[in-house]
């Protein structure tokens, strides 16, 4: 069976030998042109027309009223959490099955993650587990939500759209509203993914995306904060640019700021990649459809987009029958130079977060023992 899978992957990627990566970038459009233009202009750093253009275009593309370009997705999350009002020693609800950046951003503020289980259909935060938790362990006082066991304020809820598949946004948005918790979507992996026709990252108070080298489109390093709130958008831009008060020559700053603005040279790359995003997503969806047909003949579950959603299928994922089969497949495929990876170690099992509050994790544990990501690059 493993041999059939490797043959199929090699056939799909038209590569009968040699290394097949999990996800590699594609530069087939205006990348060189725009990057050379940025260099020629001498504006390669934090000021320049491409940064502004990227913000306009990503806002238009996602339907957010405002976008703030950042150096990477982790920085975007850090600032989004500050904008949502998260403070030291408060709690931020998130999922244990995520890339570490989500928890790191929470930690930069001195806040702590609180882990909710995932839904096996979406691989993202379970609205059922979230609801159970909020009903049984929290209370609302003065328009804020508090965690009863610790007495701490729950300052934000950060679901993550795993591998590009949207979480159950309708229920999660509603739960956050009822329980007075700002929703911040970690849409790092889901650029191009929609839920009921609306782009991920635009449902909550704030959303963040990433343009890291391994994501669907890349600017080398880069990210963005999305919001419809004009005040937060202005404050976000201020915080990411060292909180400098605009003046023709004076240097004055009114709060602790961050050097988080996306450089213009990266934004040049981002603008070129954004022009190709729709065709990349279409290609990735064609690939996932082929994988889906193939795996129907095997006792392996291929992860498909959840209902009501349109997924970018950033990373394709299969579910094997148990951990030993997963390990055997990882070993076999990587030996065959076909890159495959297990999911990230669950956050509640990472040393720094092992003491964080953690609800039942049975679906997260189940998935983490069985899931393998298989090659998912855009095929042109």
Ligand X SMILES: *Cc1c(COP(=O)(O)O)cnc(C)c1O
**Catalytic site residues?**
215
In three-state secondary structure terms, 85 is coil
Which residue in 9, 53, 67, 73 binds ligand X (CB under 6 A)? 73
Closest CA to 341 of 312, 364, 375: 375
The strand pairing partners of 198, in sequence order, are 195
CB 225 within 8 A of CB 70: yes
Strand extents, DSSP E, the chain: 66-70, 91-95, 112-116, 138-141, 144-147, 154-158, 184-186, 194-195, 198-199, 206-210, 223-227, 301-302, 309-310, 316-319, 341-342, 357-358, 371-374
Q: Is 281 in the site for ligand X (CB under 6 A)?
A: no
Closest CA to 150 of 361, 360, 356: 356
Q: Is 219 in the site for ligand X (CB under 6 A)?
A: no
Measured at CB, which residue is nearest to ligand X?
73
By CB under 6 A, the residues from 74 to 103 that bind ligand X are: 74, 98-99, 101-102
The strand pairing partners of 338, in sequence order, are 20
Is the CB of 129 or the CB of 212 nearer to ligand X? 212
Q: Is 313 in the site for ligand X (CB under 6 A)?
A: no
Is the CB of 70 or the CB of 173 nearer to ligand X? 70
Which residue in 189, 237, 263, 300 binds ligand X (CB under 6 A)? 189
By CB under 6 A, the residues from 316 to 335 that bind ligand X are: none
Is the CB of 43 or the CB of 99 nearer to ligand X? 99
Q: In what order do the strands lie in the sheet with 206-210?
A: 66-70, 223-227, 206-210, 184-186
**Interface region with ligand X, contact rule CB under 6 A, candidates 184-192, 269-277, 288-296, 372-380:** 184-192
Which residue in 20, 130, 181, 188 binds ligand X (CB under 6 A)? 188
The single residue listed with the structure tokens 């958008």 is: 233
By CB under 6 A, the residues from 102 to 141 that bind ligand X are: 102
- Residue 257 CA to residue 79 CA, distance in Å, equals 10
Q: Is 206 in the site for ligand X (CB under 6 A)?
A: no
- Residue 360 CA to residue 118 CA, distance in Å, equals 10
Q: Is 212 in the site for ligand X (CB under 6 A)?
A: yes
Q: Is 359 in the site for ligand X (CB under 6 A)?
A: no
**Interface region with ligand X, contact rule CB under 6 A, candidates 166-174, 183-191, 194-202, 357-365:** 183-191
* Positions that interact with ligand X (CB under 6 A): 72-74, 98-99, 101-102, 160, 186, 188-189, 210, 212, 223
């Amino acid at each position: 069976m493993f041999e059939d899978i490797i043959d199929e992957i090699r056939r799909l990627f038209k590569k009968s030998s040699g290394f097949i990566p999990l996800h590699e970038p594609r530069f087939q459009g205006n990348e060189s042109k725009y990057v050379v233009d940025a260099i020629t202009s001498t504006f390669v750093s934090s000021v320049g027309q491409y940064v502004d253009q990227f913000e306009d275009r990503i806002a238009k593309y996602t339907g957010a009223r405002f976008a703030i370009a950042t150096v990477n997705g982790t920085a975007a999350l850090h600032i989004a959490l500050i904008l949502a009002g998260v403070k030291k020693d408060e709690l931020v609800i998130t999922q244990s099955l995520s890339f570490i950046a989500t928890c790191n951003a929470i930690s930069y503020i001195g806040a702590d993650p609180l882990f909710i289980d995932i839904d096996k259909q979406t691989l993202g935060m379970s609205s059922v587990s979230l609801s159970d938790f909020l009903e049984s362990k929290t209370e609302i006082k003065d328009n804020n939500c508090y965690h009863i066991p610790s007495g701490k304020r729950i300052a934000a809820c950060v679901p993550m759209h795993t591998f590009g598949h949207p979480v159950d946004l309708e229920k999660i948005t509603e739960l956050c509203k009822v329980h007075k918790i700002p929703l911040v979507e970690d849409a790092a992996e889901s650029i191009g993914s929609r839920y009921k026709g609306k782009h991920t990252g635009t449902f909550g108070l704030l959303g963040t995306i990433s343009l890291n080298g391994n994501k669907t489109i890349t600017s080398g390093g880069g990210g963005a904060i999305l919001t419809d709130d004009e005040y937060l958008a202005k404050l976000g831009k201020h915080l990411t640019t060292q909180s400098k008060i605009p003046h023709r020559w004076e240097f004055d700053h009114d709060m602790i700021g961050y050097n988080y603005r996306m450089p213009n040279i990266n934004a040049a790359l981002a603008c070129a990649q954004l022009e190709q995003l729709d065709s990349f997503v279409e290609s990735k969806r064609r690939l996932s459809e082929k994988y889906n047909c193939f795996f129907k003949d095997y006792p392996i579950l291929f992860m498909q987009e959840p209902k009501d959603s349109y997924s970018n299928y950033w990373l394709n994922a299969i579910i094997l029958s148990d951990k030993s089969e997963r390990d055997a497949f990882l070993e076999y495929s990587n030996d065959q130079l076909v890159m495959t990876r297990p999911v990230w170690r669950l956050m509640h099992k990472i040393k720094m977060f092992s003491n964080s509050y953690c609800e039942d994790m049975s679906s997260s544990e189940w998935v983490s023992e069985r899931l393998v990501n298989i090659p998912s690059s855009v095929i042109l």
